[in-house]
A and B are shown apart, each in its own frame.
Chain A
Amino acid sequence: MSEGTVKKFMFVNRKAPYGTVYALESLEVVLITAAFDQDVSLVFMDDGVFQLKKGQQTKGIENKNFSPTYRALDGYDIEKLYVEAEAMAARGLTEDDLLVDVTVMSRAELGKLMEEQDVVLTF
Chain B
Amino acid sequence: MLFAVTINEGPYQHQASDSAYLFCRAVLEKGHELRRVFFYNDGVNNASSLTEPPLDDRNIVNRWSKLAADHKVDLVVCVAAALRRGIRDENLAAGFRISGLGQLVEAGIEADRLVTFGD
Measured CB to CB, the residues of A under 8 A from B are 1-2, 5, 7, 9, 21-22, 25, 28-29, 32-33, 35-36, 38, 118-119, 121-123
Contacts and interface: CB of A to CB of B under 8 A. Distances in A.
A118 B2 CA distance: 14
Nearest to B112: A118
A36 B116 contact: no
Nearest to A33: B105
Contact of A38 (B40, B80, B105, B116): B105
Interface string B94-108: 000000111011101
Given A2-B106, A9-B108, A33-B105, 8 more contacts: A1-B110, A21-B41, A32-B100, A32-B101, A36-B106, A36-B109, A121-B108, A123-B118
Contact of A28 (B6, B8, B80, B114): B80
Provide the main secondary structure of the chain A interface: mixed
Contact of A119 (B81, B100, B102, B108): B108
Contacts of A123: 8, 118
Given A25-B41, A25-B81, A32 B116 contact: no
A69 to B, nearest CB: 14
A106 B40 CA distance: 30
Contacts of A121: 6, 108, 114, 116
A11 to B, nearest CB: 11
A35 B41 CA distance: 20
Per CB-CB distance, the 8 closest pairs between chain A and chain B, nearest first, are A2-B109, A119-B108, A32-B101, A33-B105, A36-B105, A2-B110, A5-B109, A119-B114
11 contacts: A1-B110, A9-B105, A25-B81, A29-B101, A29-B104, A32-B105, A35-B102, A36-B105, A119-B108, A119-B114, A123-B8
